[in-house]
Homo-oligomer: A and B are copies of this chain.
Amino acid sequence: MGLLKSSSSQPIVSIKSNQVADALIRDVLSGHYRPGERLPSERDLVARFEANRGAVREAMAKVVQLGLAEVQPGGARVRERELASLDTIGYLLAQNALPDPALVDQILVVINNLVSVAATQVVESASDEALTEVRALLQPLLRLDSSDTEHSEARFALMRHIMHTSENLPLQLIARTLFEQFAPNISAVAEFAVPDRERYAIYARQLDIALTQRDIPSVRGTFDAFAELNRETMTRAFVIAQESSREAIAQ
């Protein structure tokens, strides 16, 4: 006995400074505190959250690091949303029960394009073996009998691997940051996503050929189509999710 490895890397929300930080971040992003406005003093926050000042200060530091506020002796002020860090995207997505469709679409546009760039760099400079690995990940997309989840995971795996193979560090950092914030926050919508397997299969086949021939324009073109299909899939999923949400409320 005495075996349970226990916890290990569960999302640590139990930590006080993170509780305070998350509450502050939600308040700022929800517009409770508007840009330019003063945030409560550290000592006020100590009282409100029943934490000690050290914890509050660490929470404040996190808010500052997210670019949501700037701090000076005398007080902290909220900054414009456009000056925030990319790490705020996750909080923006999690603000409501369903994420903002417009924001999701914007993220899809960015991610799809970054993957396209990565693919270009892969075709330009990756080894034949690396290219073969990428092509192997296309195979699951050719199947028409996969479950929605399997298909979705196959698409993610493909994009992830292309990013990783690109050897472009900024690209990897951006894509991973977006993925990590995107994935957990669209699950409420993604479960309604039904991929058009036939069209994905067509593009997968085109991509396979383009990669084999290292045909850059073809790779980019196919990826643009792939991207458009991703957006359509998500848009449809939103429609279903919103209907489902309305029914749940009406009931």
Interface residues of A (CB under 8 A from B): 17, 54, 57-58, 61-62, 65, 81-89, 92, 103, 106-107, 109-110, 113-114, 117, 121, 164, 168-174, 176-178
Contacts and interface: CB of A to CB of B under 8 A. Distances in A.
Given A57-B58, A86-B170, 17 more contacts: A54-B57, A62-B65, A81-B169, A82-B172, A82-B176, A84-B173, A85-B87, A85-B173, A86-B173, A86-B174, A88-B173, A89-B173, A107-B170, A109-B171, A110-B114, A110-B174, A170-B178
Q: How many copies does the complex hold?
A: 2
B169 A103 contact: yes
Contacts of A109: 117, 121, 168, 171
A184 B169 CA distance: 19
A66 B61 CA distance: 12
A177 B86 contact: yes
Contacts of A121: 109
